[in-house]
């Protein structure tokens, strides 16, 4: 089961500085919350993660974890840039490089979301909306 602490620990280990100071836990939790919110809005679901906002059990599918992590990492780096938290992480101090990295992660998140939306459409029980036959009126010619 996916838990908030496992995701924030993973985010923290990705962005540790040489003195073992990580991006603040609250910042990592908010990044996860915002990424999950975007997933839910994008896919029209109401998935949850255990330990996030008092949830006891989460129902986010394991296969969606890479997208969640990419989105949360992009949000976290953007937050570090916005609030100048780079002294608390091992992220490069070059703001332009950080911005490029955040944009790359955001594009990766968007592509993963597109793939998940396509899978949702392909797995839909009722595929009547996917198949239709074109019937052209002969008088249009």
Domain presence at residue 125: no
Q: What is the DSSP letter of 46?
A: -
Domain presence at residue 126: no
Domain presence at residue 39: yes
Domain presence at residue 139: no
89 Cβ contact list (under 8 Å, min separation 6):
15, 16, 17, 21, 22, 23, 80
Domain presence at residue 96: yes
Give pTM, 2 decimals. Answer: 0.75
pLDDT score for 19: 45
Domain count, the chain: 1
pLDDT tens for 99-137 read: 888 899 999 999 999 998 888 877 776 555 556 566 777
pLDDT tens for 43-79 read: 888 899 989 888 888 888 888 899 999 999 999 888 8
Residue ranges making up the domain that contains 64? 4-117
pLDDT score for 69: 92
Q: Which residues pair with 83 in a beta bridge?
A: none
Return the C-alpha torsion angle 93, 91, 96, 26, nearest 10.
Answer: -110
């Amino acid at each position: 089961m996916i838990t908030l602490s496992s995701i924030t620990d993973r985010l923290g280990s990705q962005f540790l500085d040489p003195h073992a100071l990580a991006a603040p836990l609250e910042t990592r939790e908010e990044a996860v919350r915002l990424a999950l919110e975007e997933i839910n809005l994008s896919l029209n679901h109401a998935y949850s993660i255990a330990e996030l906002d008092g949830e006891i059990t989460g129902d986010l599918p394991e296969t969606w974890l890479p997208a969640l992590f990419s989105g949360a990492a992009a949000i976290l780096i953007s937050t570090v840039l916005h609030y100048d938290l780079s002294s608390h992480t091992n992220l490069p101090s070059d703001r332009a490089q950080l911005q490029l990295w955040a944009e790359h992660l955001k594009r990766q998140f968007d592509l993963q979301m597109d793939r998940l939306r396509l899978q949702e459409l392909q797995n839909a029980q009722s595929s009547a909306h996917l198949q239709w036959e074109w019937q052209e009126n002969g008088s249009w010619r």
